[in-house]
Amino acid sequence: MAPDGATYFRKGFGLKAEVETTLSSDYNGRLVDLLRERDYTLSAGDTTIRLAKEFGFCYGVERAVEYAYQTRHKFPDRRVFLVGEIIHNPHVNARLVQMGIEILHPTEAGFDYSVVRPEDVVILPAFGVTIQDFETLRTIGCVMVDTTCGSVLNVWKRVDVYARDGFTALIHGKYYHEETRATASQVEKHAGGTYLIVRDMAEAERVMAYIEDGGDRDAFLAHFREKASPHFDPDVHLARIGVANQTTMLARESLAIGDRVGVAMERRYGAEHRTEHFRTFDTICSATQDRQDAVNALLLEPLDVMLVIGGYNSSNTISLAALCAERVRTYHVEDAEGIVPETGVIRHRDAVTHDEVESASWLPQAGALRIGLTAGASTPNNKIGEAVARIFRARGIDPATVV
């Protein structure tokens, strides 16, 4: 319990001024400030770096990280826990650990809260937590600092209404992602509430085929075992569907999946019954949309190579990298250290195997070069600036001379 008796906080502690200096020294970057001042362009010699106009920390991430700093400041003598990662950036999470915040790591069976005592403080991440986790913490009676992003709460409201009205929530997302697990759990507020998660259009097509023509029930259940409510039955729960999405998916694909469900319902039940069987609502957050729009605009320019910076488990970063790879040679690096100027090697995520791989000679040593750059919503500016410095060094340019 906090000194004033409250145990649940979701608007911070009014300590913005107290943590501002630390936050700015932890995450701001000179080269990124310079890029912004110079119309998102830095040139030195025959190397030009173009930064997408929307990139890096989104409003939800900024808020969550700031609340975590405020929490440490507010409770200097308490044990402070964090449920999983605050956001998907290894440096930000490591910095919180350095500040004495202990991360609770999930196991196969979920989070183990047995270490948490009523006098402890627990931070909920920007992705939110499942209903069950929330209830467990409430029962313990610890202080809860909830940093769940408002855009995630909007998705929850949608899913809640679908379940209330007897619609299965079809979620375009990654079933193992914290946000999607929390979103899916919202259906449990209503008896019989049901969810089904699809990763992409190919997986959505399996669902559409079952809606339109039926199919092998057991094979369907085996495929979606981890991606559906335990009581899910395709012969019962595909009759009425409400579509929602994880906030950080590829917007284009989410919209296409929504449209495709509408078509499947019309084919199955007739156009006149469409609204009885189908609802949809685009729940991609505006920050994700803005970053995808900005990178699409950048990709209209002539670029030799594109660099995308962000955690390998960061969904919105993976979406950005997928967009770029359609148009230009693209490397998704987890952080600036993936670029090794001394050897000309880059360590990056392979889009097919999802493993980290090394590529040599990714940048030509000579000749004019235009490099596009963007970063996912959980990448701080100092890491983006560090990547810019390493790109210049890889081209034999001292970043200190870039002014």
Q: How far is the CB of 104 from ligand SF4 (least distance, A)?
A: 20
Helix, strand, coil in percent for the chain, rounding step 5: 45, 20, 35
The rounded distance, in Å, linking the Cα atoms of 125 and 144 is 11
Count residues contacting ligand SF4 (CB under 6 A)? Answer: 15
Q: 62, 85, 178, 179: which is the annotated catalytic residue?
A: 179
* Nearest CA-CA partner of 89 in 51, 57, 112, 121: 57
| Binding of residue 313 to ligand SF4 (CB under 6 A) | no
Backbone region of residue 332 per phi and psi (left: phi > 0; alpha: psi in -120 to 50; beta: other values): beta
**What are the tokens at 56?**
């890096």
The rounded distance, in Å, linking the Cα atoms of 279 and 159 is 11
Binders of ligand SF4 among residues 166 to 225 (CB under 6 A) are none
| Binding of residue 318 to ligand SF4 (CB under 6 A) | no
Mark the segment that binds ligand SF4 (CB under 6 A) among 44-52, 180-188, 282-290, 362-370: 282-290
| Binding of residue 61 to ligand SF4 (CB under 6 A) | yes
Q: Phi and psi of 29, rounded to 5°?
A: -140, 130
| Binding of residue 68 to ligand SF4 (CB under 6 A) | no
| Binding of residue 391 to ligand SF4 (CB under 6 A) | no
Q: Nearest residue to ligand SF4, using CB? A: 60
Mark the segment that binds ligand SF4 (CB under 6 A) among 68-76, 147-155, 190-198, 329-337: 147-155
Mark the segment that binds ligand SF4 (CB under 6 A) among 208-216, 281-289, 367-375, 383-391: 281-289
54 annotated active-site: no
Name 91's Cβ contacts closer than 8 Å, sequence gap at least 6: 335, 380, 383
Which residue lies nearer to ligand SF4 by CB, 261 or 284? 284
The rounded distance, in Å, linking the Cα atoms of 374 and 107 is 33
Give the SS3 label for residue 155: helix
- Which residues are known catalytic residues? 179
Tell me which residues touch ligand SF4 (CB under 6 A): 58-61, 126, 149, 151-152, 247-248, 285, 287-288, 316, 377
